[in-house]
């Protein structure tokens, strides 16, 4: 996508060789106010830690870039017949009788919004148990598998779930880089030779809107 409002820049092209730390290309926010970093996972074998680094130029990025918010692929399961009227708490684990599992983001009172879904389909009519003790009955299978659910990073990092076909997004503002820095890089820890990942960044809030946007790979 290229126009005067947004620029999409590939940082890691799809690859399967993840036997060492994957360091993305460095991108510059000199001409942009905001960046959404997308990590797309295909086949995946091991959890892997994600961190961000920053630098003053498109060169070696070695200073940690602090962040707390990110998003990951989620879905929704509607339900009936709750065992209690009290909503379940955020981060409770969700277990379907048939083996489906996920982590709860929000219980609305009629549906469960979740992330880290293991890919086993919830079956309508099955009993679903939450780790806090509440049980519900699945009203259909999981839906809206393209939603992105907000999550919180601990100590400026998070792990990619050991689940195939997932997407993650880290939003950052140029001001997050701090005085003297305007470039950033993504680091993904060692996985294995059969993990497929790609990393892209969508830059927005351009400082100099034009028909052909300013570069993000030179500073």
Let me know whether 89 and 106 are in one domain: yes
Q: What is the CA radius of gyration of the chain?
A: 20
Q: What value does the mean pLDDT take over residues 93-114?
A: 98
Q: How confident is the model at residue 104 (pLDDT cuts 50, 70, 90)?
A: very high
User: Which pLDDT belongs to residue 18?
Assistant: 64
- Per 3-state DSSP, the chain is made up of helix, strand and coil in percentages (nearest 5) of 0, 50, 50
User: Which pLDDT belongs to residue 191?
Assistant: 72
What is the rounded CA–CA span in Å between residue 115 and residue 91?
A: 9
How far is residue 70 from each of residues 38, 132, 160, measured CA to CA in Å?
10, 25, 11
Between 35-44, 177-186, 202-211, the lowest mean confidence (pLDDT) is in 202-211
What is the rounded CA–CA span in Å between residue 160 and residue 150?
A: 14
Strands (E), the chain: 6-15, 22-23, 27-28, 32-41, 48-55, 63-64, 69-80, 93-96, 101-107, 111-115, 127-130, 135-138, 148-152, 158-160, 166-173, 183-188, 197-206
Let me know whether 53 and 80 are in one domain: no
**Predicted model pTM:** 0.91
Structural domain span for residue 82: 72-138
Structural domain includes residue 143: no
Query: Domain count of the chain?
Result: 2
User: Which pLDDT belongs to residue 194?
Assistant: 66
| Parallel/antiparallel/unpaired status of strands 127-130 and 158-160 | unpaired
Structural domain includes residue 129: yes
Let me know whether 164 and 61 are in one domain: yes
The DSSP output letter for 71 is E
Q: What value does the mean pLDDT take over residues 79-86?
A: 97
Q: Residues 12-31: pLDDT tens digits?
A: 988 766 666 788 999 999 99
């Amino acid at each position: 996508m290229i126009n005067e409002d947004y620029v999409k820049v590939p940082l890691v092209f799809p690859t399967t060789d993840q036997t060492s730390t994957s360091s993305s290309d460095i991108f510059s926010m000199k001409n942009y106010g905001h960046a959404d970093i997308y990590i797309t996972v295909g086949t995946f074998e091991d959890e892997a830690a994600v961190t961000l680094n920053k630098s003053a130029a498109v060169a070696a990025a070695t200073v940690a870039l602090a962040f707390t918010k990110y998003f990951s692929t989620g879905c929704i399961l509607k339900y009936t017949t709750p065992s209690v009227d009290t909503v379940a708490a955020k981060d409770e684990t969700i277990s379907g009788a048939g083996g489906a599992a996920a982590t709860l983001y929000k219980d609305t009172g009629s549906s469960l919004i979740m992330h880290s879904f293991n890919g086993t389909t919830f079956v309508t009519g099955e009993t679903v148990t939450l780790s806090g003790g509440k049980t519900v009955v699945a009203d259909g299978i999981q839906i809206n598998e393209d939603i992105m659910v907000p999550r919180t990073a601990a100590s400026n990092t998070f792990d990619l779930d050991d689940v195939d076909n997932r997407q993650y997004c880290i939003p950052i503002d140029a001001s997050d880089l701090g005085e003297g820095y305007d470039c950033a890089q993504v680091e993904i820890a060692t996985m294995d030779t059969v993990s497929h990942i790609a990393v892209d960044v969508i830059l927005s809030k351009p400082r100099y809107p034009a028909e052909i946007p300013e570069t993000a790979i030179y500073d």
